[in-house]
Structure 1
Amino acid sequence: MSLTSVAGAATTPTSGPSSSPSHIVVELVSNAGSTPWWGAAVITGSFLLVAGFFTYLFAKKNETTKFMRETAARKNAEVAELGAELITSGNKVKDIALLALSHPLTEFMQVLVNQGKPAWDTFTLASNRFQLAYPRSMEGDFKRYLTTTMSLMLPPFEQPGQLHAIEEQAKASLALTNALRILQGREPIEAEIDKSTLIENTKQSTSVLIDEMVGEALKFKHASQKTRPEQRDGANHEEAVQQP
């Protein structure tokens, strides 16, 4: 056999299966690592859903925080209003108690009977309303103010004991006022309670109460003068009826 026939036989294709991959297999292998046509849409949609969910959570948290902040602001405003009402009514009780420092005991007892009960009733109502709204942080200041104000209406009313009771009530009033200011985010008031301040308050309270008593006396006198002519007319009518 010649070399030419051997070379020709080697180059002649055989009819069996080919060892080289077909073009279909090559295309599948080359596309195996690429993303399907719908993969990009799924990934984009997933990111949008996640972003929308976190946006909802963020908006919900902001709404909740805003609602809680507004609710706290309304409660603080209500507590401040009721606290101001309480302190105002307590100052009225203190004004009456201050009269014991400048008036004899008999005169003070008369003023206490006439002015003390209405002032104490107003203070009791204000304290009950404040007790329903004040936060737990003010419990100590409120109880101290309530106790010291109550002591102003209890004997003995002599000057040493009464002056001490008024000083304690004034300190408790300042502490409660500062607690209300702190609740509103304001700076506390720094003040000292001394006897000279109480004496000055005594003069002011005396003048105010005297004006109120004079006004009530004038109202009573005016009302009595209006009823007297009516009583006289009624008596004259009865006399005319009794005459034959």
Structure 2
Amino acid sequence: MEFTNAFIEKMVNQTFPGLTLYYRDADLEQPVAGMYQPGQILRNGFFLDVTNMGGGIGQNTRFLVASTKAIPLSAINPEVKKWGLHVINVNAFFKVLDVIREGGKMQVLLLQIPEEGVELFRSAQINLEQQVITKGRERFYTCWDEPPLAELQTPEWLDRTRYPVGINARGEFFGLVFDPSLSAHPMAKMLAGGLEKLVTLKENQASPAGETPEQGQENEVRPPEDKKPGFWKRLFGDRW
């Protein structure tokens, strides 16, 4: 499939500026944990709770989610601020950038991508992805020596994060193509629509370089300062 330069630039600009890392730890059984491989495209069929608070990996699996569209819910419900709770909307799409399995722990690095860009990210390796992978690996080894945060080990929080990203109750990946009418619960539709409006508001109010005061700078993914020749070479390397 051929993609125009304008389309590629649009997808890159929707994905990378302001990218921030979020955390979601879960205790996964081995058959499920073994399903994740780099390069996969996933659709997550439920509202995804994540936190901007890192700390040590408290369960056997950490989903490290790179996203520009996670919504902080503490402004709506101050009680969840203790968890650093953010929510990513239902039916979000992700690319599995990296999987680390080491010392009985696993980290799955997910990049949230636009639905419109699924085929692009499935077929192309964009140089900016490597910067996210590098940052994700740094976070894994930094967090390895840290104790888990007590706030994220409570039964209430662990119940929120126990489901694997992109996998349904039957232990299968959600299909990439979905019928919106099949998830027609009025309350779910209302919440999804509300989150979409909050995402738009967040994008319109974003500060330079995507900085948000609530999120620690260690979670921000920033490109290196050195300049490379050409926008497309920066994205795809010398082969462009």
TM-score normalised per structure 1:
0.22
Greater RCO, 1 or 2 (C-alpha within 8 Å, sep 6+)? 2
TM-score normalised per structure 2:
0.23
Which structure has greater helix proportion? 1
Which structure has greater strand proportion? 2
